[in-house]
Structure 1
Amino acid sequence: MTKKSEVSNKQKLSPEQQEELLRTLKTRFDKYMNRHKSLEWTKILVKLEANIEKLRSLNEMEKTGGEPDVVGHDNETGEYIFCDCSAESPKGRRSVCYDREGLESRKEHKPENNAIDMAAAMGIELLTEEQYRELQKLGNFDTKTSSWVKTPANIRKLGGAIFCDRRYDTVFVYHNGADSYYAARGVRGSLRV
């Protein structure tokens, strides 16, 4: 069975959709300059226009409630880093287990998807704990929700997975079984362009 996000990620954006998405990204970029003080939109736009396939991923991030924005620039590779900057975990990416193995191990009440497959279908990467903590320096995110983060192999091998949130003005890292899912836990991701 093909998931909805896998199908839509393969569809090419029309020139109108591309233009609308770029307008949305520019508006957000201008509104939240604290996230990217030293970066210039014109240079980012050149990168986006040279990597049109990345617009499909950014569009998926936008459609599922992620509110992607530029949060950094890798001087070594020249890539700009986009991240889901919605105040809470993206609405269209919640109620999912951590990965396929966790999903398949559930005997009943299986969710429709899992965080790893969902991110892969969208062409994005789950945030690491370090990236999540960096994001939290740019604002207060996940004060009512939580987000799965990339789980170290040794934890996953034992059946666990980790997630993060912000409570009491502090970023917390927690654990659960990889098969667990909650309405308030979702998937935040990043994309390099």
Structure 2
Amino acid sequence: MTQMTETRSTLRRAFALVLLYAAATLVGGVIFVALLRAALAFLGPGVMFYRGVGALIVDFFLLIVLVAAAAARLPRRFGIDGADALGAAIVATSLLLAAFVLGPITADRSISVFMLSQFDAADRPLTGAEARDAFVRVYVDDWAQIDRRLKEQALSGNLEQGPEGWRLTAQGRAFMKTARALSSIFGGDPRFVGRKN
């Protein structure tokens, strides 16, 4: 009888934790989107990734408070406490970060997504040369994406502009060192990070 009671208690707690984590992720997602859409200056420079990280930090602390308040209202038989609220906030924030990087950041920065959008907008098949020409004409020239990247890297502290042009900062060199190491570990294309092989 005692073992059956313990099993029920464990299952009840596990179910309550799953619901708590799911609710934290849902509520955290709504808060995260609202913070990004509000475009608050204190979230970081005008680079989507950094604003997103700033919004997630704010979101994390709000989630701790909200989830702890919700957990305190649950009946004691569920066995949910403040540590579970912290865990739910950590899991929710981690999932939101992964979704943010894989979704909006990829769509905003990916050359592949741009290329696919050109095929989607075309009323006929495109040749490789037409896709390349569209990339240069639209992405590079019309949308000035190189200028955008230079400004973003300056805002990030990786580049600085001098009288003779742009140069890498000490932070930028450290970033490239890290990028080369990650590329080497995960087998990325060495050309993107200036590795020989």
Is the radius of gyration larger for structure 1 or structure 2? 2
The alignment's TM-score, normalised by the length of structure 2, stands at 0.24
The alignment's TM-score, normalised by the length of structure 1, stands at 0.24
Relative contact order, higher structure (CA 8 A, sep 6+): 1
- Which structure has greater strand proportion? 1
